[in-house]
Amino acid sequence: MQSIQDRLAQRARGKAPSPIRELVPLMKLPGMISLGGGYPNPETFVFGRVEVSFKQGSKIVLEGAELVAASQYGPSDGQPKLVQSLLDWQQKKDGVRLEANQLVVLNGSQEGLFIMPYLFLDPEDTVVVSEPDYSGALGAFGSFCKNTLTIPLDAQGLDTAALAGVLSQRRGAGERMPKFIYVVPNGHNPGGVALSLERRKELVRIAEEHDVLILEDDPYQLVRLDASQTPPTLQSMAPQRVVRLDSFSKIFTPGLRVGYASGPAEIIRQFVLFKQSSNLHTSALAQALLDKFMRTAGYEGFRAEIRKNCERYRVNRDAMVAAAREFLPEEVRFNVPTEGMFIWFELPKSCNAKRMIDADTRQELVIAVPGEAFSTRGGCQNCLRASFSMVSPEQIREGMKRLGRMVEKELARS
Ligand SMILES: Cc1ncc(COP(=O)(O)O)c(C=O)c1O
């Protein structure tokens, strides 16, 4: 396996740690008199007490030393208490035991989608994405390199046979191999599909064969719409090759902006160096609130809360599926998602979703996202992403009825 150092992009090579940030752990040693950090004096902090009550009945209070820690600058890899909670969370959730130096708290998983290409992609590099794929990831990768190897997505997730073919061909031709393979394994945004167990195994095998890293972006893992089990994470199958992004946006609250990256210690160290020179660390207050909630609710309590919220999404998903069957022309194809918030509709090839939206959305008063927003090469023009997370079952039914009329008009036009 090629070393991490040799894989790094030019911009990330030889990056030295911040001399001040590296002193932070030493400042905590008992008896230490620190004349080091340029921290503001806690006496000047404005919070006296922070109390948050949760809808499920529990309440947390931050005061005294805990509140000072939540108000002060903190370590770049995350608040130590939250890091411990997340290590336990990962073990219980995925059966993966990580060390503290294998995890870094981020400003949402989106920050990881920026750091990964920052670390690994030079302009002449390539990265594997799917068609369609999450526009936020495509945008972040595109900031560093324009070359994508685009692999189709079907009902089983990323088409691993196509991936194997493309990588073997590239290698045979002596072309540069991709730096990493980007995968959203559950409740794909926008594809609404999950990567099957067989494909997961195959993906790991292919990555091993060609010595390519995997970026596993999994914000919908626990947004489960059925009682079925989540297949094992890619990280659990190949811990040395996978950088995994977890997010609390869909299962706790997105405005707090807390997610985390985990993976090989050497890569996580690079993430931490990035944070040292970008935003120092994720909000200590946000981390403290999440940590307190996790400790108060306990693992089972938190999972139960998530399951309860997923019930709402399940009802909405069922409403959208039923309305799609009732109101959309038969030629429109879609998959019933088992996780996440999206259904991906494929209209006949002659249709153009953007043209349809431009022509009729103001009149019909229903909106969905045209598929080309999720393609790196102007593809998916006949596709649409519809989200069922923010609307009621009644609105979904009415919305799909209107969408059905729009599709009929587009079919007539095309
Ligand atoms: C696939 C995927 N990855 C990452 C994100 C970003 O999530 P976060 O709020 O954790 O930054 C999203 C948000 O919608 C997403 O759909």
Going from the Cα of 37 to the center of ligand 1, the distance in angstroms, rounded, reads 34
Q: Kindly report the protein residue whose alpha carbon is nearest to atom 5 of ligand 1.
A: 110
Mean pLDDT of 23-37: 84
Helix (H, G, I), strand (E, B) or coil at 27: helix
Q: Does the CB atom of residue 219 touch ligand 1 within 6 A? A: yes
Cα angle: 373, vertex 375, 376; to 5 degrees: 115
> Which atom of ligand 1 lies closest to the CA of 257?
9
| H-helix or E-strand spanning residue 67 | helix 64-71
Lowest mean pLDDT: which of 53-57, 86-90, 198-202, 324-328? 53-57
Concatenated DSSP letters of 194-212: ---HHHHHHHHHHHHHHT-
**Contact status, residue 246 vs residue 276, Cβ threshold 8 Å:** no
CA 110 to ligand 1 center in whole angstroms: 6
- Residue 236 CA to residue 72 CA, distance in Å, equals 35
- Judged by DSSP in three states, 56 sits in coil
**Residue 109 CA to ligand 1 centre (angstroms):** 6
Query: Quick one: DSSP state of residue 376?
Result: S
Rounded Cα distance, 357 and 188, in Å: 23
Looking at residue 57, what is its pLDDT?
A: 87
User: pLDDT per residue over 328-385, tens digit each?
Assistant: 999 999 999 999 999 999 999 999 999 999 999 999 999 999 999 999 999 999 999 9
Tell me, using a 6 A CB cutoff, whether residue 134 lines ligand 1: yes
- Please report the pLDDT score of residue 21 as a whole number: 75
For the chain, which domains are there?
4-42+75-300 (3.40.640.10), 43-72 (no CATH), 306-413 (3.90.1150.10)
Q: How confident is the model at residue 37 (pLDDT cuts 50, 70, 90)?
A: confident
Give the closest residue (by CA) to ligand 1 atom 16. 189
pLDDT of residue 227: 86
What's the Rg (C-alpha) of the chain? Answer: 23
Ligand 1 contact via 72 beta carbon (within 6 Å): no
- Which pLDDT band, with edges at 50, 70 and 90, does 26 fall under? confident
CA 157 – ligand 1 centroid, Å? 18
CA gap 281, 291 in Å, rounded: 16
Pick from 200, 236, 214, 220: nearest CA to 95: 236
Spatial distance between the Cα atoms of 189 and 387, rounded to a whole number of angstroms = 10
Where does the pLDDT of residue 244 fall: very low under 50, low under 70, confident under 90, or very high at 90 and above?
very high
Ligand 1 pocket member 138 (CB < 6 A): no
For ligand 1, pick from 86, 110, 258 the residue to mutate: most ligand atoms within 8 Å of CB: 110
- Percent of the chain exceeding pLDDT 90 equals 92
Angstrom distance (rounded) from CA 269 to CA 283: 19
Query: Who contacts 73 (Cβ-Cβ below 8 Å, separation ≥6)?
Result: 37, 39, 280, 281, 284
Condensed to tens digits (0 to 9), the pLDDT of residues 62-115 reads 999 999 999 999 999 999 999 999 999 999 999 999 999 999 999 999 999 999
Indicate whether this model's pTM tops 0.75.
yes
Please check the confidence at residue 22 and state whether its pLDDT lies above 80.
Answer: no
The pLDDT of residue 356 is: 96
The four Cα atoms 349, 157, 247, 14 give a dihedral, to 10 degrees, of -100
Which carries the bigger pLDDT value, residue 37 or residue 126? 126
Token duo for residue 275? 């944070």
Q: Is the pLDDT of residue 409 over 80?
A: yes
- pLDDT for residue 348: 95
> What CA–CA distance (Å, rounded) separates 73 from 81?
15
Ligand 1 atom index nearest CA of 249: 9
Give yes or no for a contact between 65 and 93, defined as CB atoms under 8 angstroms apart.
no
Task: Name the residue with higher pLDDT: 252 or 19.
Answer: 252
259 CB within 6 A, ligand 1: yes
Q: What is the mean pLDDT of the chain?
A: 96
Q: Distance, CA 112 to ligand 1 centroid (Å)?
A: 10
